[in-house]
Amino acid sequence: MNTTTETRSLTVGGVAIPLDPPRPPKKPHRLLWIDTETTGIGRTNAKLLEIGMIVTSMDGATEHDRFVCPVRPDKISLYDLDPKVLRMHLDNGLLEEVMDIDPDAAGYRKTALNLSEFLNDQAAQYELHPAGTNVDYDIDLLTNQLAGYIHPDYLRELTNHRKLDLSTFRLADTALGVNPYKGHAGTHRVTDCITRDRNDYATYLDLLRTAREEPES
């Protein structure tokens, strides 16, 4: 039996070019935790006040790089803020921080450029899966608010279509009569929210791991 593997090639200018060239190694999969703080809850008209993105291992335990920054909207009025949101971001210091920063250093244009640089760098290294709470909301908001300064589909093009949304786990808990939102008040700052999500995710993974390791009766 002839077991020789034939390599197909195409000759161009006297040079043989393999038709089945070696493929580059696959990029490792990572979670891209996303959270935003805003002036309201609208997907199209709420304005950005803070962006947080943290890249971790698929189990959420090992942190790699992060992008965290306050954002000063190009135009903002007190009338843009829902009263509850205004009170919340006065209490946690975010509004004061946003108002004190240089608009040129943290406005939409500069934020979009910095975010694009971060995401392109991470996407070149990893297969990124968006993760968080109601993660499609954050993606839509980032897309809509920064559309004037960056390609409108930049975030979806640089990330995998498979996402991790903690709301799925929490709704399952609700179906089982468990309150998954107990103790979720927090400070409503992006790093705090992402830490909460990663901790919840670790808890759910422990439950799944235990269920899989239990011997069959």
- pLDDT tens per residue across span 156-197: 999 999 999 999 999 999 999 999 998 888 899 999 999 999
**Percent of the chain scored above 90 by pLDDT?**
72
pLDDT value at 1 more than 50: no
Yes or no: say if 35 and 138 are a contact pair by the CB < 8 Å rule.
yes
Dist. CA 43–CA 145, nearest whole Å: 9
- Residues contacting residue 71 through CB under 8 Å, at least 6 positions apart: 48, 49, 50, 51, 98, 106, 107, 108, 111
- pLDDT tens per residue across span 45-71: 899 999 999 999 999 999 999 999 999
Q: pTM value?
A: 0.86
Dist. CA 66–CA 212, nearest whole Å: 32
Q: Closest Cα to residue 207, out of 158, 165, 172, 160?
A: 172
Dist. CA 117–CA 65, nearest whole Å: 13
CATH classification code of 29-209: 3.30.420.10
